[in-house]
Amino acid sequence: MKEELQHLHDVMQRARAEIAKVIVGQRDVIDRALVVIFTGQHALVEGVPGVAKTLLVRTLARILGCPYARIQFTPDLMPADITGTHVFDMKSQGFSLVKGPVFTTFLLADEINRAPAKTQAALLQAMQERRVTIDRETYELSPHFTVFATQNPVEYEGTYPLPEAQKDRFMLKINMTYPERDQELNISLRTLGEDAPERVLDRGDVQQVVTEDDLKTLQGVLRGMTVHDDLAAYVVDLVRLTREHESVMVGAGPRASQALLLAARASAALDGRDFVTPDDVKLMAPGVLEHRLVLRPEYEMEGLTVDEVIRRIGEEIAVPR
């Protein structure tokens, strides 16, 4: 087990190094993206335009040897534009399936809240079951099918907020912020030459770390890590308390407990450990819970944030030793 875990840790470290050739800074974002992938889950990525959300997903697909597709969500996008449809073939005098972009491994759902609910819902079955139903026929997707859905946090005109059921399918909400001054200067200077991030990726300077088939083996290593019962109880109590807190109108459901345990376990592996600690839980809790909680309006008017609520809830629970 130690050798397997060390191999997983090495792969993650190499992935970090390769991503850093393209993405400047954003270390926490990269780590959370790797956590999502190695746990076989999905991520909601939020950030203003120009912070490399799309470039991050393209880079992840390249280094992990996985097919990649992008859907630009718009108000006129239809569910069939995502899943695909059967088209009549004049030559064969029969219907054949034209697969949509959902038939990939890494799917970038760009500005997912630009499309109405019926189009957003086209991803629900794919995200939960890794299969899609088209004209009453069900088709299997890649076992590593992963959705990275992006949102702009400051522009809400012409958008359709994600329903709670849709948001609950995302393991983590990853917030991509502006780079530091020296990082932005680095990006700007690189843009003037041949080392612009997009050029580095397009000309193949980024090396593939593993194959898609290797991901299943590496994900299996995580299942052998130690998670004590008292730590699992700590996670469950933390999530359950979100449903009872005075400032919370809608708390997190059981899927949040599962997601927080999985995320904490992957975080420990990323740190090179074969056991999970309360610090791993605290590190992952904001990303797991932020998009699942709905605060009461009176508390939001007072300026209370979800991160602050999560911190307060954490202080009310005894931390296991």
For the cut 70, the answer to whether the pLDDT of residue 321 exceeds it is no
Give per-residue pLDDT as tens, 258-313.
Answer: 999 999 998 888 888 888 888 888 889 989 988 888 888 887 787 778 788 888 88
Q: How many residues does the chain have?
A: 321
Cα gap 171→33, rounded to integer Å: 10
- Secondary structure of 20-58 in HEC code, one letter for each residue: HCCCCCCHHHHHHHHHHHHCCCCEEEECCCCCCHHHHHH
102-153 residue pLDDT tens: 898 899 998 888 888 888 888 888 888 898 888 888 888 888 899 999 888 7
Residue type, 207: Q
The answer on pLDDT for 9 being more than 60 is yes
Q: How far apart are CA 219 and CA 40, in angstroms?
A: 8
Percentage of the chain exceeding pLDDT 70: 97
Amino acid at position 90, single letter? M
Rounding to the nearest 10 degrees, give the CA dihedral for residues 13, 16, 17, 23. Answer: -170
C-alpha–C-alpha distance, residues 219 and 223, integer Å: 7
User: What are 37-46's pLDDT values in tens digits?
Assistant: 888 899 999 8
Domains observed in the chain: 2-218 (3.40.50.300), 225-315 (1.10.8.80)
- Give the percent of the chain with pLDDT over 90: 9
- Given a cut of 70, whether residue 213 has pLDDT beyond it is yes
Q: What is the pLDDT of residue 108?
A: 92
In the structure, what pLDDT confidence band is assigned to residue 226 with cuts at 50, 70 and 90?
A: confident
Q: Is the pLDDT at 158 greater than 70, yes or no?
A: no
Tokens of 127: 């995200």
Give me the amino acid identity at 121: A
CA–CA separation, 311 vs 307, rounded Å?
Answer: 6
User: DSSP letter at 226?
Assistant: B
Q: Where are the beta strands (DSSP E) in the chain?
A: 43-46, 68-72, 84-89, 94-99, 106-110, 131-134, 137-140, 146-151, 172-175, 248-250, 294-295
CA distance to 59, 115, 298, per residue, from 158 (Å) = 30, 9, 26
What is the residue whose two structure tokens read 């090179």? 272
Q: Distance between alpha carbon 210 and the CA centroid of its chain, in Å?
A: 19
Contact 114, 158 (CB under 8 A): yes
Integer angstrom CA distances of residue 312 from 258, 305, 306: 21, 11, 10
- Assess contact for 105 and 68: CB atoms under 8 A: yes
- 268's enclosing H/E stretch is helix 254-270
The position carrying tokens 């335009």 is: 49
For residue 261, which amino acid is it? L
The label of the residue with tokens 């009549």 reads 88
Confidence of residue 12 (pLDDT cuts 50, 70, 90): confident
Backbone angles phi, psi at 71, to 5 degrees: -120, 125
Q: Tell me the mean pLDDT in the region 87-101.
A: 76
Whole-number pLDDT of residue 15: 86
Does residue 1 surpass a pLDDT of 60?
no
179 close to 187: Cβ distance less than 8 angstroms: yes
Average pLDDT, the chain: 84
